[in-house]
Amino acid sequence: MDDEVSEFWQQQKEEQWERRVARLPIRTERILELRKEGFHVEQKTPYHFRVNRRLDVWPIHNRWHDTKRNKRGGAKDLAEFIRRFFAAVDPSERFKRAGG
């Protein structure tokens, strides 16, 4: 019985990962499109981005981390969260371009 339960949860875990991986390209594209709006988006890994040298985001899990204030959280739509996040910060920190 324990083996059946363990096998069930392992299968659930694998299926969840497959769903996340399937959503990743769509979420990644939305984050990269923010460059057209003037955001500096740096892709650290296939799963990790840094926006305006301050906000780390992981679209595979819809999680974020503000490196300046050391705060973390989640958002249903990371691209929209990024827009709102930087609209609320000091204007001098909104758009940090490469080399700037």
pLDDT given at position 7: 87
Its pTM stands at 0.77
Query: CA-to-CA distance for 91 and 100, rounded, in angstroms?
Result: 14
pLDDT given at position 44: 97
pLDDT given at position 96: 55
Query: What is the SS3 assignment for 42?
Result: strand
Per-residue pLDDT of 3-30, as tens digits, reads 887 888 888 888 888 887 788 999 999 9
Query: What is the SS3 assignment for 60?
Result: coil
**Average pLDDT estimate for 50-75:** 96
Query: CA-to-CA distance for 22 and 4, rounded, in angstroms?
Result: 27
